Amino acid sequence: MKGGKAAGAGPAARPPTAEAGTGKVKVEFRRDMGLLDIVMIGIGAMIGAGIFVLGGIASGLAGPACILAFLFNGLINIITGMTYAELGSAYPEAGGGYLWVKKGLPPPFGFVSGWISWFGHTVACSLYALGFGTYLAWLLQQYGLDPFPPGLFLSTDKILAVLIALALLYVNYRGTGTTGRSEIAFTMSKLVLLGLFIALGGVAMAHNPAAVDNLFGDFFPGGGGGILFAMALTLIAFQGYEVIAQTGEEVRDPKRNIPKAIFASLITVTAIYILMVVVLFGIVTPDMMAQAGVSSPSVYLGTAGASGELALIDVAKAAIGPVGIGVILLGGLLSTLSALNATIFSSSRVSFAMGRDGTLPAYLGELHQKRRTPHNAISASGLILVLMIVLFPIQTVAGAADVMFLVLFAITNAAGIALRYRMPGLERGFKVPLFPLLPVLGVLFNVILIYPLYLIEPLAVYIGVIWILFGGYVHYFTGARKEILETPVTIPEAAPIAEEKRARYRVLVPVALAEHRWLAEFGAAVAKERGGDLSLLKVVEIPPGTPTSAIHYRDVSDQIQAVERLEAAARDLEVDVDARLLISHEVSRTIVETARGEDADLTVLGWTGRTRVGAIMGTNLDRIVNELPGEVVMFRSDGERPPAREVTVLVSQGRHALAAAELAADYARHHRSRARLLLVSVTGEPTSVESARLAELERVFSTREVPVSRKVLRSLDFVAGVLAETAGDELLFLGAAEVRTFGRTLFGYLPDRVIRGARCPVVLVRKVAGGEGPAGRGPAAPAASG
């Protein structure tokens, strides 16, 4: 025993507490995202078309001083990021800057910030889609492919951009967007590819005698104006850290993790951008410039690859070769694709939040009845996204997004100042230093950058002004200010199990369906026999793009009632039950983390026998079984059955088989059932080792005063013999294999085949190494029968 966690001596040792009859199901939301998750979301949203498509254009505008442009942009965004860190740690809610401005500034500013945030994120989506289309069109051209007939009013890159945008809009509409784990994988892949390009570029620079002269020979070819132009154009490359704040309601320990994630993502991305610019200038050789008919690396980068849009590909091709092309091409496609998906996620959240509180038409705040996605908000964002792709060139699209974020960041800094004065006692996980100097500088810097952007892309500024004016019309003349009638009911964050309950043996039963009463009763029977508690868990999975705060009690009322019925059935066995319904974006991770958080000794999983292509027993089940701590039971049954009058235990060596026998003995003792030990032998006679094992398992049952018999089955085919012999049995128990071999298995090659092929209910048991649970204790010793 460890950590003071004790089990009772039997069912009479621990009577139910007064809490046992309350019948209350706790409805909670699960904070799914940790620090790494949100850092990757921020970096993934930032690294997109900003560097891959605009990097060459900006280098042409500022020359090597583009290094300073990215550095200054990074510093300005770190100042604004401080405001986001302070407010995000104080108000960890979906909606981000829009909600803060609404709280801190007079009413028109709240609407304006939300309106331009929605448009800014949506136009950023258009930019990423265009970046993807540009890179994919180039790839197709290298093979002489043009999938679209000539004479269309759209170019190939724009058609591809529209198609990828529609595809990801549909993915988000269905609610099958990327989760935290896949976002981490995407972003890590991007970082590896960019790191590889920087490394390959460093090698190429070492062999380029003109590298130092390229970087420092004419550092300011565009003067100070060139730096400002490059800063204004590439500000969109830093858009993304505000997405971290928008996920605040799903972040664990948001007061600490949101500030850390914002600064970590901004510093990482700024360093990567600077290194990318250094490499771009350092690998341009005199021969490359001579072939292009130019004498300056700045001119070369600004005119290479369709006026700079494909500069990275052209430079990588000439200086590094096929490997460089592959790295940049794959990195560009992957970066723009993942940034597009992440930004669709954030743009729909802003318009959804505005629809929920009546700032925009209420239909934008509605969830799809079946999929629980903000389908109207996604559709509205998609319309704007596609129109921007079709109507404007990529540089204008980038400029329009830049205008929106410059205004948004200026207003958010102002809101941060106002809220510090209005609510000085508000608990903040981070406070902006040198207040109010830094937020004031944030306002000024963001406003100042609008002017150079107007000089190089006046149409982008006009688009921004038109959008704001249109927003005023929508807000004041379409009845959009009518607040949505049904506001969300606050659901508390998942609370830990009380320490006095954690000290007892605990059985966790995740239930998928209301019909799984047999699963709850099985868990309750084991908990009672082992002097422990039962924890019933129902996880309601919602799509990645749907905020947890959007879920109402009415959305989960049927499932609450189902869990209450299961809880009542378990309480009939006089065992303490904690019933919880968790709202989460990922079922498998929630179950695993709940088992760890509750220090569960035994987790009982139900399986109906159905599986999906590519999975062993099911996508979620496979993940859960592989990651769960403690003892794991897979209970396969095709529906409700009465308690077994006789249980069959498959005899084998090892700790898993012993755990299966102990579990079968507890079950049989509870239901006053008989037990039968089944040994499969090639000869039909047990060996000395097998005879010793039979005797050991018989003692397990006799200790619990369960009648037990034995049968030795002669069979050359283990699995076929077991399946035939147990076809009419009421319940079969077996242990996992001691060593999992023969490719992809969950419990071992033979046990997996048995549970899949059996024609009776099966309980398959896996014991943790050492025979102890997560807190270092096994089941209680059985009490003497009364």
Q: Would you place residue 78 in the very low, low, confident or very high pLDDT band (cuts 50, 70, 90)?
A: very high
What integer is the mean pLDDT of 374-391?
Answer: 94
Q: If we measure between CA atoms, which residue out of 32, 36, 493 comes closest to residue 260?
A: 36
The per-residue pLDDT for 489 is 39
Which of 582-591, 605-614, 633-642 has the lowest average pLDDT?
605-614
Asked if 577 and 570 touch (Cβ cutoff 8 Å), the reply is yes
Q: Would you place residue 295 in the very low, low, confident or very high pLDDT band (cuts 50, 70, 90)?
A: confident
Report the 3 state secondary structure along 15-31: CCCHHHHCCCEEEEECC
In the structure encoding, which two tokens stand for residue 627, read together? 């990651």
Report the 3 state secondary structure along 300-349: HHHHHHHHCCCHHHHHHHHHCCHHHHHHHHHHHHHHHHHHHHHHHHHHHH
Q: Would you place residue 573 in the very low, low, confident or very high pLDDT band (cuts 50, 70, 90)?
A: confident
pLDDT, averaged across the chain: 84
Label residue 755 left, alpha or beta by phi (over 0 means left) and psi (-120 to 50 means alpha).
alpha
- Provide the whole-model pTM: 0.74
Asked if 617 and 606 touch (Cβ cutoff 8 Å), the reply is no
d(CA 44, CA 343) in angstroms, rounded, equals 9
Of the ranges 73-82, 307-316, 538-547, the best mean pLDDT one = 73-82
Label residue 599 left, alpha or beta by phi (over 0 means left) and psi (-120 to 50 means alpha).
left
Q: Would you place residue 133 in the very low, low, confident or very high pLDDT band (cuts 50, 70, 90)?
A: very high
d(CA 464, CA 461) in angstroms, rounded, equals 5
Q: Torsion angle, CA of 279/285/290/294, rounded to 10 degrees?
A: 30
Question: Tens of pLDDT along 432-453?
Answer: 999 999 999 999 999 999 999 9
Asked if 98 and 117 touch (Cβ cutoff 8 Å), the reply is yes
What integer is the mean pLDDT of 339-365?
Answer: 83
Q: Would you place residue 148 in the very low, low, confident or very high pLDDT band (cuts 50, 70, 90)?
A: confident
d(CA 466, CA 361) in angstroms, rounded, equals 20
Sequence-ordered list of residues with C-beta below 8 angstroms from that of 606, at least 6 positions apart, any chain: 510, 511, 512, 516, 519, 635, 636, 637
The per-residue pLDDT for 380 is 94
Q: Would you place residue 515 in the very low, low, confident or very high pLDDT band (cuts 50, 70, 90)?
A: low
Can you say how many angstroms the Cα of residue 66 is from the centroid of all Cα atoms in its chain?
A: 34
In the structure encoding, which two tokens stand for residue 587, read together? 């079922």
Can you say how many angstroms the Cα of residue 275 is from the centroid of all Cα atoms in its chain?
A: 29
Strands 762-766 and 631-636, by their bridges, are antiparallel
Which of 510-524, 660-674, 682-696 has the lowest average pLDDT?
510-524
Question: Tens of pLDDT along 277-294?
Answer: 999 999 999 999 988 888
The per-residue pLDDT for 485 is 33
Q: Alpha helices, DSSP H only, in 423-547? A: 437-448, 450-456, 458-477, 499-502, 517-529
Host H or E run for residue 762: strand 762-766
Indicate if the pLDDT at residue 770 is higher than 50: no
The per-residue pLDDT for 181 is 61
Report the 3 state secondary structure along 29-42: ECCCECHHHHHHHH
Residue 468's alpha-carbon distances to 271, 400, 456, 458, in angstroms, are 34, 12, 21, 16
pLDDT > 90 in the chain, percent: 49
Give the CA radius of gyration of the chain.
Answer: 31
